Structure 1
């Protein structure tokens, strides 16, 4: 897609503050975008930033990670996104990306400071993992160093709980991220294929949710490279609130149409800026536009987005790996994709022309 030139109003203009009772508020909000070709994110990001203190109350910081040419740009600010000079600067940057995520915070656990601003970033297997979360996770609020054990087998009983990753801040979100990475690193001595990682992620999410199915709200975005965006949703409402915390997505592909943002009067005709090769999925806590169809993730659903489309079947997940969009490490050996296919009873000849 060709870049879209737009930015939020100057942060010096008079902002309209909306005040809500804490118990009725969305905890935080998430934005993710996954694309088939390098794409400008300013349309969605412009609307999203308004929710950081202007059209909504999420004014306790914001952050964004953007993959560009195989590397990662990262920006964080403890100021409201709607008035942040840094957010205004990012929105003006002519960056195109295959993969990005952003977060605006309404602080419920942890102080308002930079160490508690999402997305969080860690290196594992020589790969950048990034994570942003909306919700409440009592398991890690009550015990930040809790170990997840659902990936361990009977013959793993001798393994010690090693804390490779620890929170820097004080949020249950960062503690959740560190626990997921610790569990994956302890389980795998080789970089797993995408279907194996998918199954492992699903088990870890189930373990977290099962610890408190009523009290847990777990919606997150996770990246582990420049191509794929992992999205999980265990939605819910806070006690005494009717405000729903979930995740929605929309997929834009040829033929493209015009779309209008909910939070600011901006409309873009994507048909004039795209080609047939373009495809983009936008993931958000609440729909960002008011004139296109958004799909809410099912409760407990884990979806991998690649090339701008949701991938759910085992065959599709193997195809992501074969296309070179899985975990790519220069420091840790990768597991045999052929062996993994046998485990899933997948015939390698299914993938025509693949060099397996």
Structure 2
């Protein structure tokens, strides 16, 4: 799950629902991870227990964590043992900035040549793909970060090449930007928070304030499967890359011939929810 927001965003309700998929409502029970940005500094947290029952994960949720950029991951181990070194998100530094990466999918027989200083510390195909992306980026742009458009374009080309080895859905973020790439299935939703309704709760400002203190706050949510906030979730197409900046979509690169999944619209609406 990814969150990109205009201002620091309180994510506890979304994290609580997402972490239920880590062994309670879904079978991704091989640990969890969380990366978020406090200003420009990244913070990383990992655990090996199922997310829904992990004391450390529940404690983080209870702290009312606020961030402008956040990645959360629940793992179903396919490549690599159940060790912290194999837990997503992963972090690397490039162009003087911390970047975090989380992936959902499987890459078969994926052993790219790595020529620069980016090498995996664990055993996962996901971390190898992350290192390959940064290996290529550092060779193309060794001294400084390219423009948003240039970075999105080269990530699209590199990601398409990696996706030939299997399923490769990922989120890549720094303190300001979030890239989402879909090879099989990924959804996103864009909100302007005034009031937000959660299942089993009444509409009203109390629920909105538990998510954000800023009326008019712009937030983008990204997830492999939609969360149950009552708003539409838009499917990304296969081979599509989107760039989000502080809670707003700024670029879309896609393959017109590839299909996407259907739009998911909740069964009930309320005037207290603003749709984009």
Which secondary structure does the structure 2 equivalent of 1:230 belong to? strand
Deviating 4+ runs (over 6 angstroms): none
> Is the Cα contact below 8 Å between 1:234 and 1:299 reproduced in 2?
yes
Which secondary structure does the structure 1 equivalent of 2:22 belong to? coil
Match of 1:152 in 2: none
Match of 1:309 in 2: 248
Please tell me whether residue 127 in structure 1 is matched to residue 80 in structure 2. no
Partner Cα separation in structure 2 for residue 66 and residue 74 of structure 1: 7
Match of 2:169 in 1: 219
> Is the Cα contact below 8 Å between 1:139 and 1:208 reproduced in 2?
no
> Is the Cα contact below 8 Å between 2:242 and 2:252 reproduced in 1?
no
Partner Cα separation in structure 1 for residue 121 and residue 203 of structure 2: 40
Match of 2:179 in 1: 230
Match of 1:163 in 2: 116
**Among 75, 80, 88, which residue is 1:105 paired with?**
75
The alpha carbon displacement at 1:277 in A equals: 3.3
1:36-47 to structure 2, matched below 5 A, reads 36-47=6-17
Q: TM-score, with normalisation over the residues of structure 1?
A: 0.66
Match of 2:149 in 1: 195
Any stretches of 5+ residues in structure 1 without a counterpart? 1-30, 148-160, 236-245, 315-356
Partner Cα separation in structure 1 for residue 177 and residue 83 of structure 2: 29
Is the deviation greater in 275-284 or in 56-65? 275-284
Is the deviation greater in 161-170 or in 269-278? 269-278
The alpha carbon displacement at 1:276 in A equals: 4.4
Match of 2:267 in 1: none
The alpha carbon displacement at 1:267 in A equals: 6.4
User: Max radius of gyration: which structure?
Assistant: 1
**Among 88, 101, 105, which residue is 2:58 paired with?**
88
Please tell me whether residue 181 in structure 1 is matched to residue 120 in structure 2. no
Partner Cα separation in structure 2 for residue 267 and residue 116 of structure 1: 40
> Is the Cα contact below 8 Å between 1:37 and 1:277 reproduced in 2?
no
- Cα pair distance change 1:193/1:107, threshold 3 Å: same
**Among 221, 228, 231, which residue is 1:289 paired with?**
228
Which secondary structure does the structure 2 equivalent of 1:82 belong to? helix
Match of 2:84 in 1: 114
The alpha carbon displacement at 1:257 in A equals: 3.6
Please tell me whether residue 53 in structure 1 is matched to residue 2 in structure 2. no
Task: Specify which structure has the higher proportion of strand.
Answer: 2
**Among 117, 125, 131, which residue is 1:172 paired with?**
125
Q: TM-score, with normalisation over the residues of structure 2?
A: 0.84
Question: CA RMSD for the aligned pairs?
Answer: 1.9
> Is the Cα contact below 8 Å between 1:53 and 1:81 reproduced in 2?
yes
Please tell me whether residue 247 in structure 1 is matched to residue 247 in structure 2. no
Instruction: Tell me the alpha carbon deviations over residues 129-148 of structure 1, each in whole angstroms, 9 at most, x when there is no partner.
Output: 110000011252xx2xx13x
The alpha carbon displacement at 1:189 in A equals: 2.6
Is the deviation greater in 38-47 or in 271-280? 271-280
Which secondary structure does the structure 1 equivalent of 2:9 belong to? strand
Which secondary structure does the structure 2 equivalent of 1:178 belong to? helix
> Is the Cα contact below 8 Å between 1:247 and 1:285 reproduced in 2?
yes
Partner Cα separation in structure 1 for residue 202 and residue 13 of structure 2: 9
Partner Cα separation in structure 1 for residue 202 and residue 79 of structure 2: 36
Match of 1:278 in 2: 217
Instruction: Tell me the alpha carbon deviations over residues 161-204 of structure 1, each in whole angstroms, 9 at most, x when there is no partner.
Output: 62311111111000000011001111113321111111111110
